[in-house]
Amino acid sequence: MASIPSGLMDDLLTLEYSQFEDVTLTAVDLDPASLAHARANCERLGTPVQVEFEQRDAWDLGSPGRWDLVTSNGLNIYIDDDVRCVDFYRSIAAALRPHGFFIMSFITRPETWQPSDVRDLELQRYLFREVLPVKWQCVRDENLTRAQLSEAGFEVLQVEYDQQRMFPSVVARKRS
């Protein structure tokens, strides 16, 4: 399994592996500092499986059919070009074995968010636009995300929304 980009790699390092044999996790990130943080996180957690750390470009993985499962939580929120986003998904599809799984997430459009308190939404918008001008404002809706994944060679199996409908998770399978 691989986490692309890895960040701290919590998505895979915090899972329970005691019932499985021959598990290898791969942290893939272009940023060497992120890989160093993932390595430190792995050591801190005492992960009982083999973990590899690779500095690579997510659009040029060079690993055809390597993984059974890839997770990606965050890279697409920095990609404002829809064609480039599909190219990223294609790169993931190429790196998966036949019928491999892709678990990813995306940020929905702010007008669809359902915060528990509307004042929270106003504060978030102010913070993200004025105080901390974030670069990850590439929002997409479910229909666009499904279409992009389909174009890249995936079948979407499930879309699971969080309580505030801000950051849904997607489970997709590579088509043969």
Q: What pTM was estimated for this model as a whole? A: 0.87
Burial of 163 (0-12, 13-18, 19+ CB in 10 A): exposed
For the record, the structure tokens of 170 come out as: 């997607």
The alpha carbon of 93 is separated from its chain's Cα centroid by a whole number of angstroms, namely 13
pLDDT at 161: 95
For the record, the structure tokens of 36 come out as: 């160093």
Any idea of the CA torsion for 40, 46, 51, 52, to the nearest 10 degrees? 20
Identity of the residue numbered 135: K
pLDDT at 17: 94
> Across 30-161, where does the E strand assignment appear?
50-55, 67-72, 96-105, 154-160
Burial of 10 (0-12, 13-18, 19+ CB in 10 A): middle
The rounded average pLDDT for each run of 10 residues, N- to C-terminus, in the chain (176 residues) is: 96 94 96 96 94 97 95 89 96 97 91 72 62 64 97 98 90 95
